[in-house]
Amino acid sequence: MGGEAYDVLCDKIAPKRPRECEYKEVIATLEEYFHPEPLEISENFRFKCRRQGDKDAHSAEESVDEYLVALRKIATTCNFGQYLSTALRNQLVFGLKRNDIRNRLLEKRNLTLEEARDIAVGMELSKKSSAEIENGGPSQDKYADVFDPKLGKISGVQAHLTLKENAQPIFLKARRVSFNLIDAVDQELDKLVAEDVLEEVPTSKWATPIVPVRKAEGKVRICRDYKQTVNQKLRVDQHPLQTVEELFASLAGGKWFSKIDLVQAYLQMEVAPEDREMLTLNTHRGLFRPKRLMYDASPYGVGAVLSHVYPDGTERPIQFASQTLNK
Q: What are the domain boundaries of the chain?
A: 37-131, 158-322
Helix 40-49 with 64-75: angle, nearest 10 deg:
170
317 and 242 Cβ atoms separated by less than 8 Å: yes
The yes/no answer on whether domain 158-322 falls in CATH 3.10.10.10 is: yes
- H helical segments located in the chain: 3-13, 23-34, 40-49, 64-75, 84-94, 99-106, 113-134, 139-142, 179-194, 244-251, 301-306
Residue 320, beta-bridge partner list: 323
Neighbours of 18 (CB within 10 A): 13
Residue 15: cis peptide before it, omega within 30 degrees of 0: yes
Phi and psi at residue 109, to the nearest 5°:
-80, 150
pLDDT at 149: 73
Between the two ends of the chain, the Cα-to-Cα distance in Å is 36
pLDDT at 241: 64
pLDDT at 136: 53
pLDDT at 325: 38
pLDDT by residue for the chain (327 residues), tens digit each? Answer: 777 887 877 877 888 888 888 888 888 888 877 777 778 899 999 999 999 999 888 888 899 999 999 999 999 999 999 999 999 999 999 999 999 999 999 999 999 999 999 999 999 988 877 666 565 556 666 677 766 777 777 788 888 888 999 999 999 999 999 999 999 999 999 999 999 999 999 999 999 999 898 887 778 988 888 888 988 898 876 666 667 677 777 777 777 777 666 667 667 888 899 999 999 999 999 999 999 987 654 444 444 444 545 566 665 544 444 433 333
Helix 113-134 with 64-75: angle, nearest 10 deg:
150
Largest CA distance in the chain: 96
| CA pair distance 92, 210, nearest whole angstrom | 62
Residues 6+ apart with CB under 8 A from 5: 30, 34
